[in-house]
Amino acid sequence: MPIEQDAVQVLREASVARLAADWRRQHPTSDFPDRRVTVTCGGFRIALRLGDDRRFDSRRWLDPPGLAAQITLDVTIDERSPDLDRRPVLVRGAAAGFAFDGNYAQIVVDDSGAIGSLRLAGRGGDDWLLGLGLREGFLAVFQQVVASRGGARLHAATLALDGLAWVVFGASGAGKTTLAWRFIDSYVQDDWVFLVPDAQGIWWAWRLSEQRGPFDPDEPAWQLRLGGLRQLSPERRVTGLRPLSPEAGFAALSASAHAVDGCAGPGLLDALARLVEAHPPALLDHALTTPADELAAFITGTPAG
């Protein structure tokens, strides 16, 4: 429909404008300060130490002050050409730790010593590949941590509305990113999210800190209490919230869960079952012509009238 196409174009232009204004923070231009950086994901932190004199792009990830890391990884550069056809595989080890072998990163972690190694594929010093290796490495560590705490990683868009995290999941191409663009000042991320229960059974949304430049204490929270789960439907003529049966909600959530080999199985399914019990998903219809404030009310379950 023409009006929907116009709306999509407006959203894309707004997103491009935001990225252009934020280019200084996004553009990878700096190196590890003092060969060390701390990366945060929700309630967990890992520290990286650059083990040689090689300078490489770190996307300006800096040490936020006062944050102690639970695991420290010694980083080295491997000039090998990465095997682009090899799927990432997480191999569980003994109780002492785990190992990860991916396209751009290899990790070995000794939990008992809270230390490990991270090897990144360089291929001639290609900073782009090094950046992919860093991100792949972070995700591997945090996925293992989240799994060990009874949580899961979802392919989803996450919005911060009313001080809570609202997770909108669905198949690729369903419109999660388009929806997220409508909340430029409120969306946490539009690709994936970690959902983790605490000791009291309260679920939290974790995002990977992408701190670039000097530490900003006003950076949005690295973890937010989960408000609810919304499965994005293909309906684009109207906006509304419809109930889902527990069985349908569990099936849809399972299809959006990210399972790395060695980190899947009954543990992940049990985590999703507990998540659905605590936060039954609802089906979200999204018409692009609905004003953002009205859409937010539907997402949070508080529509006017």
Asked whether residue 184 falls in the same domain as residue 269, the answer is yes
One domain for residues 144 and 157: no
The residues, ordered by sequence, that sit 6+ positions from 207 with a Cβ below 8 Å of its Cβ are 41, 42, 158, 188, 189, 193, 194, 222, 223
Residue range 136-164, pLDDT digits in tens: 888 888 888 888 889 999 989 898 898 89
209 and 270 fall within a common domain: yes
Q: Are 44 and 156 part of one and the same domain? A: no
**Nearest in space to 256 (alpha carbons), one of 275, 243, 237, 240:** 275
Q: Number of folded domains in the chain?
A: 2
Judge contact between 99 and 108, C-beta under 8 A. yes
Q: pTM here?
A: 0.80
Are residue 273 and residue 251 in the same domain, yes or no? yes
Same domain, 155 and 101: no
Residue 26 covered by a domain: no
- Same structural domain, 11 and 38: no
Is 9 in the same domain as 51?
A: no
Mean local confidence (pLDDT), 259-274: 74
**Do the domain assignments include residue 22?**
no
**Percent of the chain at pLDDT exceeding 90:** 25
The last residue of a domain, from among 94, 117, 148 = 148
- Residues of the chain above pLDDT 70, percent: 66
Residue 216 falls inside a structural domain: yes
- 104 and 197, same domain (yes or no): no
Residue 279: inside a domain, yes or no? yes
From 123, 148, 173, the end of a domain falls on 148
Residues 57 and 75 sit within 8 Å (Cβ to Cβ): no
Q: How far are the Cα atoms of 149, 177, 288 from residue 180, in angstroms, in the given order?
A: 28, 5, 12
Same domain, 164 and 264: yes
Which one, of 183, 217, 216, 220, lies nearest residue 205 by Cα? 220
Among 130, 148, 166, where does a domain finish? 148
Structural domain including 138 reads 31-148
Answer yes or no: do 120 and 191 share one domain.
no
Residue 23 within any structural domain of the chain: no
pLDDT digits (tens, 9 = 90+) for 168-225: 998 877 888 888 888 877 777 767 889 999 999 999 999 876 543 334 445 555 788 9
Report the range of poorest mean pLDDT among 61-75, 152-166, 241-255.
61-75
Residue 132 lies in a domain: yes
**What is the Cα–Cα distance from 32 to 244, expressed in whole angstroms?**
47
Distance (Å, rounded) from C-alpha 50 to C-alpha 53?
8
For residue 108, being part of any structural domain is answered with yes
User: In this structure, are 181 and 43 located in the same domain?
Assistant: no
